[in-house]
Amino acid sequence: MIFDILLSSSLLLLMLTGIHTYFGREIVKRGIIFADIAVAQFSGVGIAVSLVLFHGEYVYPTSLTFGLIASLLIALSQRLDKYSEAVIGLVYALGFSSTVLILSFSSHGMEELKKLTASDVLFVRLEEVFWTGLLYFFIALLLYYTRRLRGLFRELSFFVLFSVTLASSVRLAGVLVVFSLLVAPALVSVLLKKGLLFAWLWGSFWSLVAIGVSFQLDFPTGYTIVFFQALSGLFVSFMTLARSKGSFSTFAISSLLVVCSNLWK
């Protein structure tokens, strides 16, 4: 029983990390980090709609529909150049507030909100893992064949496939888990000048560590994954900063002086 639980959750996280690492690296390189969590949050809106209006049915199509709406908005926002990040931030804010408002009509709204934020992947079924893996395989094929597109068509195809992926992963893992898997391994690989394989191995390692810790200490699995992914990403970020020609020490000393001067006043 324990082996089956750990096997299914470990396989799921290996697959989630793999596909999201690719999207995450693309997002980090484009400098639109909010796009990850904005699309994930809008997928959550679709799940909330299915729970309140359809009693939990049609989860995937409603989640995909709202994810596609967010993707379209984000793809169009790229035409605004330096203002695109502000638009993406508003898309996220709209998605989160909509989720809370919709779930307020449910008697179990807060409980459902917690699941949407970070779900407990320990109890995912092997059947779900299999179908998720099959879906990600076809998405990977489409990513390969659409990479030659240019301009707006390339942006739209990228974000459509991104939405299809998130519609599945948010339902299984939650918005924060998906966001941490998208950003942390991708950021670490870019900072260390490593490739996609390294990012996948890095993210998978910390995900498996999180599963082990949450199982042994009875922590919430989703939030444990977010904690380890975020902690490892921040550690590498500041270590990279510390190695960059003393800029970190200069920043630390100047910050300390500012704090001390404010305390002295």
Average of per-residue pLDDT across 183-198: 90
Closest CA to 46 of 163, 154, 188: 163
Quote the number of domains for the chain: 1
Backbone angles phi, psi at 86, to 5 degrees: -65, -40
- 125 or 261: whose pLDDT is higher? 125
Q: Is the CB of residue 40 less than 8 Å from the CB of residue 175?
A: yes
CATH at residue 188: 1.10.3470.10
The answer on pLDDT for 255 being more than 60 is: no
Q: Is the CB of residue 213 less than 8 Å from the CB of residue 6?
A: no
pLDDT band with cut points at 50, 70 and 90 for residue 256: low
Average of per-residue pLDDT across 219-224: 88
Q: Is the pTM for the entire model greater than 0.85?
A: no
- The pLDDT value given to residue 97: 92
- The pLDDT value given to residue 113: 77
**pLDDT tens digits for 55-67?**
878 888 898 889 8
**pLDDT tens digits for 124-141?**
888 888 888 899 999 889
Provide the token pair at 118.
């970070």
Domain of residue 172 covers: 2-264
Mean pLDDT, the chain, whole residue set = 82
**pLDDT over 90, % of the chain:** 16
**pLDDT tens digits for 70-109?**
888 887 877 776 777 788 888 889 998 998 898 888 877 7
**pLDDT tens digits for 4-28?**
677 888 888 899 998 899 888 888 8
The answer on pLDDT for 110 being more than 70 is: yes
- The pLDDT value given to residue 226: 92
